[in-house]
Amino acid sequence: MSSSEPVPDGSKYVSPQGTRAVKGGIRPNAATGVPDVDRKPPWLRVKLPGGAQYEAVHEIVRSHKLNTVCAESKCPNIAECWGRGTATLMLMGSVCTRACKFCSVSTGNPNGWLDPLEPLQVADAVALMGLKYVVLTSVDRDDLADGGAAHYAACVQAIHQRSPQTAVEALTPDFAGDLAAVATVLDAGLVTYAQNIETVERLTHPVRDPRAGYAQTLGVLAFAKRHAPQTLTKTSLMLGLGETDAEIERTLDDIRGAHVDVVTLGQYMRPSPHHLPVQRFVTPDEFRHYRELALGKGFLEAVAGPLVRSSYRAERVLEHNNLGLQLGV
């Protein structure tokens, strides 16, 4: 295979930084031959990416050697978000040390590699895009003593220095439950801190990597609110992996019990044949019901919809209108 050809999902490759990794995060396995429960319904169809704004964002990302969760996670909203001139930047490379079975980010061990120029490149890209609100996320970096928290904080601080009026949201790893690392990122200055619980407790394993944990995420979120009470806290729940309504409600109770302000709920979409199959396609009417259920439990906002992702239209969360999304009635 030539270096110019795309690497197939599930194949081993070497990243530009020399990291041996698995493309798409998951090797062929017993789930590979298992089909989704049904064909993708019409409400999950999205337009193909394109247009001048899309190309401008693509060029900024390319020229600054940045990664985006939009591309690496095969987000269905990439056409909309890039088309309006924004992107969710993914820090610390494109190779994650974990292998969650819902996620298409490549997995491997970067062995301590970090780009010392990344904070400045991120700040420059944010300024060029003219963003008033930016979401930063990152791969998990269990190979680093602090999980990459200091580097993450340096990126936030560089944005503040270059664009003082830009608000920053951080969707972080769980830092293996290291609360000092969480505090390092919070202290850099965030309007919103997010760490995703992803699924209900019963499905945490096998959905998430064994090093992740339901209680661990709740503990990180609870600490974030205690440490920085003025910062909004947020988490996200994927639906369609086999969870029951009772489990969804119990998870919402647990999240609210950690004093989380905002919850988002969206449809799990299988990124490759090697990832977990979809067990259910949740209808827009059902998402409307789950939003109302969450709001009734006291969340400041609950965002729900088939294409909702944690960072989707994040700057609009306090409009209290489900980000302007219309669901079934």
Place of tokens 């369609």: 240
Give the residue from 316, 321, 306, 271 showing the smallest Cα distance to 84. Answer: 316
Cβ neighbors of 136 (< 8 A, separation 6 or more) are: 88, 89, 90, 91, 122, 152, 155, 156, 168, 169, 170, 171
Joined tokens for residue 90: 């993914």
Please give the average pLDDT of every successive group of 10 residues along the chain, which has 329 residues: 71 93 94 92 74 68 66 58 67 96 95 96 90 91 98 97 94 98 98 97 97 98 98 97 98 98 96 96 96 97 90 79 71
Phi, psi of 152 (to 5 degrees): -60, -50
Give, to the nearest 10 degrees, the angle between helix 214-227 and helix 245-257. Answer: 30
Beta bridge partners of residue 239, listed in sequence order: 267
Cβ neighbors of 284 (< 8 A, separation 6 or more) are: 43, 305, 306, 327, 328
pLDDT of residue 310: 82
How far apart are the C-alpha atoms of 319 and 321, rounded to whole Å?
Answer: 6
pLDDT of residue 110: 97
Complete domains list, the chain, with CATH: 46-324 (3.20.20.70)
User: pTM to 2 decimals?
Assistant: 0.91
Helix boundaries (H) for the chain: 52-63, 69-72, 78-83, 118-129, 149-162, 179-186, 204-207, 214-227, 245-257, 284-296
Joined tokens for residue 211: 């090093």
Cβ neighbors of 161 (< 8 A, separation 6 or more) are: 123
Identity of residue 28: P
pLDDT of residue 116: 96
Q: How far is CA 8 from CA 69, 74, 106, 131, 134, in A?
A: 18, 14, 11, 34, 31
Q: For residue 269, how many other CB atoms are within 10 A of its CB?
A: 22
Query: Following DSSP, what letter does each residue of 17-32 receive, concatenated?
Result: TS-EEETTS--S-TTT
**Burial class of residue 93, CB neighbours in 10 A (0-12, 13-18, 19+):** buried
pLDDT of residue 2: 39
pLDDT of residue 85: 53
| pLDDT digit string, tens, across residues 138-169 | 999 999 999 999 999 999 999 999 999 999 99
